[in-house]
């Protein structure tokens, strides 16, 4: 249920400020109200929906331009460090995990309906970046990135094919640097990816 609601929000089936009624969702999907309520509680904890005492749940607003730029600055401060650490510390087994995730990202849009495919891509993207942070071995960096649910909020900004196809190529460059055990190149590749990705999402504010 959580994945279903998240997909609808990321793909804009549910727009910002749209009301989400537990009873209506449970009847539409054919499930009890309990899993719907649990999913909305989790989404509220992530800032994707907002709970109002009198009116129930509504989809949260998308990031403002200022919030977006703050997140980009935050990522640039932490993720290149995570990539540098991962080049030195990541296990060989984790390289296979990263390759699998990037492969899934490359194919998901051709094997799923476009809207839900885009939402699935955003989840694989989050897992790819989280795996690098995990491989870097610094739990504070990883927890800081996870806590903000960066990718969920970023992918709500726009639904563009080029955001996905270009990201796969940039991920491959990061992965190549990690495999080469080159900390400097890994950090540089991650920094370039964040800058390029930010440029693509930034067009949503134009």
Q: What is the CATH number of domain 65-205?
A: 1.20.120.530
pLDDT grade, residue 43 (50/70/90)?
Answer: very high
Give the whole-angstrom CA distance, residue 40 versus residue 25: 11
Give the whole-angstrom CA distance, residue 103 versus residue 124: 10
Say what the pLDDT of residue 158 is.
80
Say what the pLDDT of residue 118 is.
82
What integer is the mean pLDDT of 20-35?
Answer: 93
Please give the residue that has the higher pLDDT: either 9 or 11.
Answer: 9
User: Is the per-residue pLDDT at 161 higher than 70?
Assistant: no
Give the whole-angstrom CA distance, residue 197 versus residue 162: 10
What integer is the mean pLDDT of 50-59?
Answer: 89
Contact (CB, 8 A) for 183 and 87 = yes
Say what the pLDDT of residue 114 is.
56
The domain limits of the chain are 2-59, 65-205
Question: What is the per-residue pLDDT across 74-84, written as a single tens digit (0 to 9) for each?
Answer: 999 999 999 99
Q: Bridge-partner residues for 50, per DSSP?
A: 58
Contact (CB, 8 A) for 142 and 131 = no
pLDDT grade, residue 165 (50/70/90)?
Answer: confident
Percent over 70 (pLDDT), the chain: 95
Question: What is the per-residue pLDDT across 97-147, written as a single tens digit (0 to 9) for each?
Answer: 999 999 999 888 676 555 577 888 899 999 999 999 999 999 999 999 999
Q: Which fold has domain 2-59?
A: Arc Repressor Mutant, subunit A (1.10.10)
Question: What is the per-residue pLDDT across 172-203, written as a single tens digit (0 to 9) for each?
Answer: 999 999 999 999 999 999 999 999 999 999 99
Which ranges of 64-182 would DSSP assign to H, the alpha helix? Answer: 65-89, 92-111, 114-136, 139-148, 150-155, 161-179
- DSSP string over 20-83: E-HHHHHHHHT--HHHHHHHHHHHHHTTSEEEETTTEEEEPPPPPHHHHHHHHHHHHHHHHHHH
What integer is the mean pLDDT of 37-56?
Answer: 92
Say what the pLDDT of residue 171 is.
97
What integer is the mean pLDDT of 168-172?
Answer: 95
**Rounded to the nearest 5 degrees, what angle is found at the Cα of 161, between the Cα atoms of 61 and 15?**
20
pLDDT grade, residue 31 (50/70/90)?
Answer: very high
Say what the pLDDT of residue 117 is.
79
Give the whole-angstrom CA distance, residue 153 versus residue 156: 5
Tokens 């960066």, residue located: 150
């Amino acid at each position: 249920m959580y994945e279903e609601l998240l997909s609808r929000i990321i793909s804009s089936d549910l727009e910002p400020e749209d009301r989400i009624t537990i009873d209506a969702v449970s009847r539409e999907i054919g499930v009890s109200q309990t899993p719907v309520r649990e999913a909305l509680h989790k989404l509220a904890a992530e800032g994707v929906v907002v709970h109002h005492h009198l009116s129930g749940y509504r989809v949260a607003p998308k990031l403002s331009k200022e919030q977006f730029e703050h997140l980009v600055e935050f990522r640039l401060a932490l993720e290149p460090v995570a990539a540098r650490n991962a080049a030195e510390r990541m296990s060989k087994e984790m390289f296979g995990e990263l390759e699998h995730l990037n492969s899934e990202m490359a194919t998901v849009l051709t094997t799923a309906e476009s809207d839900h495919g885009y939402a699935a891509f955003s989840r694989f993207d989050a897992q790819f970046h989280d795996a690098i942070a995990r491989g870097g071995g610094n739990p504070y960096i990883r927890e800081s990135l996870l806590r903000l649910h960066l990718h969920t909020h970023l992918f709500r900004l726009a639904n563009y094919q080029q955001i996905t196809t270009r990201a796969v190529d940039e991920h491959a460059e990061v992965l190549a640097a990690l495999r080469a055990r080159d900390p400097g190149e890994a950090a540089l590749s991650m920094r370039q990816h964040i800058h390029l990705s930010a440029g693509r999402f930034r067009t949503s504010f134009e």
